[in-house]
């Protein structure tokens, strides 16, 4: 969703923490509103510098709060065996990108509830700081932390609304899943509810423009969030259907049996001109006497100084075929798709008895889906 573009801040426990560019809008908005309106109103008589430094501190702590919320989702997800490689903060909050669906309703419930609970916990801590500031009669600190505990509580409550894929919608889906025994059916109902909820927010937001009395409790902001929820609910449902569909298909059905492999004695120069420049692949398997002995990727070529391309051969720069890039014909197509997503690879190889049987790329999966899958809009 909001994973394209943006900045990588760093990694926590192997999880990439990213900032989408849209996040700066919300950061600036919070800092500006606090420094120019809220803080001067509730703690009058301070310098502009005092207001602005408090406002920036609040915006940063708000950011840390959202991150903590997402990290708690990620932590519980990992304990349930679902890898999370990426957390992205963007204009509407944060998103921990899970590489797979939860295995059971109970896992989903724990994962979903972890975030709002974390937000409540932070709200309690910030409330404590606000109390201390009240005792110390520091009005600026009190105002700042009042804002912080309140906004974390809002975050917890908003996320518990039953609009899938919000946390509350996930809790709802976990309940439906437990009741119906079907993840797909549960997702379908939860996604419909999520879309309905999104449309309601859109109506309120747009309504507040047309009918001013509505402005007391809604703004155009609602419409933006609603629109985001509608598309997120749709995408999540499609993701679930995709998983269910591909999990039933053997990888042999989606692979291309014609794999371009390179011989180990090929010069690096020829590898570049005859293979990398001609085909869109970013790696090739290396084949010798019909057996796969390794692979060579664009990075391996880049690591070699250009003047050596002519006299060095593929065998000098190739690497062993990574375990996670190899599947067997009886593995399923979802396994192939999720491995590509997880390792950010553009292909996985299918081998049978040490011989190359085929290659799976996003394109081969897409082609299979176009010709085979029935995208029935209802539950199945
Ligand atoms: Zn959450």
Where among 225, 246, 267 does a domain terminate?
A: 246
Helix boundaries (H) for the chain = 23-33, 39-42, 48-79, 105-135, 139-159, 167-180, 183-210, 220-246, 251-254, 268-270, 298-302, 314-317, 333-342, 362-372
Instruction: Provide the pLDDT for residue 322.
Output: 78
Got the DSSP string for 155-188? HHHHHTSS-TTSHHHHHHHHHHHHHHS-HHHHHH
Instruction: Provide the pLDDT for residue 377.
Output: 47
Average pLDDT over residues 206-227: 78
Q: Are 76 and 113 in contact (CB under 8 A)?
A: no
Where among 246, 262, 283 does a domain terminate?
A: 246
Question: Residue 268 sits in a domain of what CATH number?
Answer: 3.10.580.10
Residue 377, domain member (yes or no): no
Task: Give 108-144 pLDDT, tens digit per residue.
Answer: 999 999 999 999 999 999 999 999 999 998 999 999 9
Instruction: Provide the pLDDT for residue 379.
Output: 47
**Interval between CA 94 and ligand 1 midpoint (Å):** 7
Instruction: Provide the pLDDT for residue 374.
Output: 59
**Interval between CA 95 and ligand 1 midpoint (Å):** 7
Within this chain, do residues 83 and 49 fall inside the same structural domain, yes or no? yes
Instruction: Provide the pLDDT for residue 373.
Output: 60
Residue 359, domain member (yes or no): yes
Task: Reply yes or no on whether the pLDDT at 97 is more than 80.
Answer: no
* 58 vs 245, higher pLDDT: 58
Within this chain, do residues 219 and 312 fall inside the same structural domain, yes or no? no
**Interval between CA 380 and ligand 1 midpoint (Å):** 28
Burial category of 258 from C-beta neighbours within 10 Å (exposed 0-12, middle 13-18, buried 19 and up): exposed
Task: Reply yes or no on whether the pLDDT at 99 is more than 80.
Answer: no
**Interval between CA 134 and ligand 1 midpoint (Å):** 30
**Interval between CA 264 and ligand 1 midpoint (Å):** 49
* 160 vs 228, higher pLDDT: 160
Residue 378, domain member (yes or no): no
Domain count, the chain: 2
DSSP state, residue 37: I
What tokens were used for 266?
A: 């090929």
Task: Reply yes or no on whether the pLDDT at 74 is more than 80.
Answer: yes
Mean of the per-residue pLDDT values for the chain?
86
**Interval between CA 165 and ligand 1 midpoint (Å):** 9
What's the pLDDT band for 5 if we cut at 50, 70, 90? Answer: low
Residue 1, domain member (yes or no): no
**Interval between CA 325 and ligand 1 midpoint (Å):** 32
Structural domain that includes position 97: 7-246
What's the pLDDT band for 218 if we cut at 50, 70, 90? Answer: low
**Is the link from the previous residue into 165 a cis peptide, with omega within 30 of 0?**
yes
Within this chain, do residues 278 and 203 fall inside the same structural domain, yes or no? no
Residue 304, domain member (yes or no): yes
**Interval between CA 125 and ligand 1 midpoint (Å):** 19
Q: How far is the CA of 174 from the CAs of 112, 196, 330, in angstroms?
A: 9, 19, 30
Task: Give 306-362 pLDDT, tens digit per residue.
Answer: 888 999 999 999 988 877 888 888 888 888 888 887 777 888 888 888 788 888 888
Within this chain, do residues 25 and 78 fall inside the same structural domain, yes or no? yes
Task: Reply yes or no on whether the pLDDT at 106 is more than 80.
Answer: yes
Instruction: Provide the pLDDT for residue 232.
Output: 81
Average pLDDT over residues 175-198: 90
Task: Reply yes or no on whether the pLDDT at 3 is more than 80.
Answer: no
Q: How many CB atoms lie within 10 A of CB 260?
A: 15
What's the pLDDT band for 367 if we cut at 50, 70, 90? Answer: confident
Where among 246, 280, 301 does a domain terminate?
A: 246
Within this chain, do residues 177 and 60 fall inside the same structural domain, yes or no? yes
Instruction: Provide the pLDDT for residue 217.
Output: 66
Instruction: Provide the pLDDT for residue 375.
Output: 52
Query: Going by C-beta distance under 8 Å and a sequence separation of 6 or more, which residues neighbour residue 206?
Result: 220, 223
Within this chain, do residues 161 and 303 fall inside the same structural domain, yes or no? no
């Amino acid at each position: 969703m909001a994973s394209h573009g943006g900045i990588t801040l760093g990694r926590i426990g192997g999880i990439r923490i990213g900032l989408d560019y849209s996040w700066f809008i919300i950061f600036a908005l919070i800092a500006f509103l606090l420094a120019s309106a809220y803080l001067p109103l509730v703690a009058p008589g301070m310098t502009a510098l005092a207001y602005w430094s408090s406002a920036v501190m609040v915006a940063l702590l708000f950011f840390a709060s959202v991150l903590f919320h997402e990290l708690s989702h990620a932590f519980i997800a990992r304990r349930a065996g679902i890898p999370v490689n990426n957390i992205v903060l963007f204009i509407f909050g944060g998103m921990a990108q899970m590489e797979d669906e939860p295995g059971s309703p109970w896992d989903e419930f724990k994962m979903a509830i972890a975030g709002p609970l974390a937000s409540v916990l932070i709200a309690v801590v910030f409330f404590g700081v606000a109390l201390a500031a009240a005792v110390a009669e520091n009005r600026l600190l009190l105002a700042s932390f009042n804002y912080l505990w309140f906004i974390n509580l809002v975050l917890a409550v908003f996320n518990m609304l039953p609009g899938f894929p919000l946390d509350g919608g996930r809790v709802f889906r976990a309940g439906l899943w437990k009741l119906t025994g079907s993840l797909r059916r549960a997702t379908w109902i939860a996604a419909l509810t999520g879309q309905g909820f999104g449309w309601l927010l859109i109506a309120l937001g747009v309504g507040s423009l047309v009918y001013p009395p509505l402005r007391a409790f809604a703004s155009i902001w609602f419409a933006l969030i609603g629109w985001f929820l509608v598309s997120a609910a749709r995408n999540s449902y499609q993701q679930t259907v995709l998983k269910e569909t591909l999990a039933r298909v053997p990888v042999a059905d989606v692979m291309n049996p014609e794999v371009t492999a390179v011989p180990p004695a090929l010069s690096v120069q020829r590898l570049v001109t005859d293979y990398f420049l001609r085909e869109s692949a970013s790696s090739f398997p290396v084949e010798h006497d019909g057996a796969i002995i390794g692979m060579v990727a664009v990075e391996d070529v880049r690591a070699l100084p250009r003047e050596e391309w002519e006299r060095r051969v593929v065998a000098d720069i190739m690497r062993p075929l990574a375990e996670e890039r190899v599947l067997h014909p009886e593995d399923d197509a979802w396994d192939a798709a999720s491995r590509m997503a997880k390792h950010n690879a553009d292909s996985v190889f299918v081998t049978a008895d040490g011989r190359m049987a085929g290659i799976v790329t996003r394109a081969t999966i897409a082609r299979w889906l176009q010709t085979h899958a029935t995208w029935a809009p209802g539950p199945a």
